[in-house]
Amino acid sequence: MINARAKNKWSCLAIACLATLLLSLDLTVLHLALPRLVSDLGATSTQLLWIGDIYGFALAGLLITMGNLGDRIGRKRLLLIGAVAFGAASAVTAYAPNAELLIVARALLGVAGATIMPSTLSIIRNVFTEPGERTAAVGIWSGMSAAGFAVGPVVGGLLLDHYWWGSVFLINVPIMLLVLVGGVMVLPESRNPDAGRLDLVSVVLSFAGVVAVVYAIKEAAHRGIEHTDVLVAGVGGVALLALFAWRQTRLAEPLIDVRLFARRAFTASIVTNLLAIFAMSAMMLMFAWYLQLVLGWSPLQAGLAQLPGGLSGAVGGVLAAKLIPRIGRNGVVALGLAMNAGSFLYYSTLGLELNYLTLLPVMVIGGVGIGFAFTVNNDNVLATAPRDRAGAAAAVSETAFELGGALGIAILGTVLTSAYRANLELPAGVPGEGARESIAGAVRTAAELPSEQAGPLMRAAQTAFIEGLHVTALVTGALLALVAVLALVGLRGVPKEIPEEVLARA
pLDDT tens for residues 254-264? 877 777 787 88
As a whole number of angstroms, the distance between CA 249 and CA 239 comes to 16
Q: Give the pLDDT mean for 347-351.
A: 91
- Burial (CB < 10 A; 0-12, 13-18, 19+), residue 356, is exposed
Helix (H, G, I), strand (E, B) or coil at 154: helix
Q: What is the mean pLDDT of residues 307-317?
A: 83
Half-sphere exposure of 12 (CA within 13 A, CB side): 28
Average pLDDT over residues 345-354: 91
- Cα dihedral value 198, 241, 221, 266, nearest 10: -80
Residue with the larger pLDDT of the pair 84 and 253: 84
Q: What is the pLDDT of residues 87-99, one digit of tens each?
A: 999 999 989 888 8
Q: Which of 109-118, 138-147, 250-259, 448-457 has the highest mean pLDDT?
A: 109-118
* Residues in the chain, overall count: 506
Give the DSSP per-residue string, 431-499. Answer: --TGGGT-HHHHHHHHHTS-HHHHHHHHHHHHHHHHHHHHHHHHHHHHHHHHHHHHHHHHTTT--SS--
Question: Phi-psi region for residue 111, left (φ > 0), alpha (ψ -120 to 50) or beta?
Answer: alpha
Q: Sorting pLDDT into bands at 50, 70 and 90, what band is 504?
A: very low
Mean of the per-residue pLDDT values for the chain? 82
Q: What digits encode the pLDDT tens for the residues 228-246? A: 888 898 899 999 999 988 9
* Confidence tier at 35 by pLDDT (50, 70, 90): low
| Range in 52-66, 104-118, 388-402 with the lowest mean pLDDT | 388-402
First to last CA, the chain: 19
Query: How far apart are the C-alpha atoms of 438 and 434, rounded to whole Å?
Result: 7
Map out the domains of the chain as residue ranges: 1-197, 199-254, 261-506
Give the range with max mean pLDDT: 71-75, 455-459, 464-468.
464-468
pLDDT of residue 221: 66
Confidence of residue 1 (pLDDT cuts 50, 70, 90): very low
Looking at residue 306, its pLDDT comes to 81
CB contact at 8 A, 306 and 150: yes
Count CA within 13 A, CB hemisphere, residue 249. 9
Please report, rounded to a whole number, the percentage of residues in the chain having pLDDT higher than 90: 16
Identify which has the larger pLDDT, 220 or 196. 220
Q: Do domains 1-197 and 261-506 have the same CATH topology?
A: yes
The candidate with the shortest Cα–Cα distance to 488, out of 270, 335, 313, is: 335
pLDDT band at 2; cut points 50, 70, 90? very low
Question: Quick check: 200 pLDDT over 90?
Answer: no
Q: What CATH number does the domain located at 261-506 have? A: 1.20.1250.20
The pLDDT value recorded for residue 340 is 92
Residue of higher predicted confidence among 6 and 115: 115
Residue 241, classed as helix, strand or coil, is: helix
Please say if the pLDDT value at position 322 is more than 60: yes
Would you say residue 441 has pLDDT above 80? no
Give the residue-averaged pLDDT of 282-308: 80
Cα separation, 369 vs 481, in Å, equals 12
Whether pLDDT at 502 is above 70: no
Cα angle 413-416-419, degrees, rounded to a multiple of 5: 145
Q: Is the pLDDT reported for residue 143 higher than 80?
A: no
- Most confident of the ranges 38-52, 313-327, 379-393: 313-327
Mean pLDDT of all residues in 371-377: 88
pLDDT greater at residue 247 or residue 136:
247
Identify the architecture of domain 1-197 in CATH: Up-down Bundle (1.20)
Q: Which residue has the higher pLDDT, 96 or 151?
A: 96
Q: How confident is the model at residue 45 (pLDDT cuts 50, 70, 90)?
A: low
Q: Mean pLDDT over residues 373-396, rounded?
A: 79
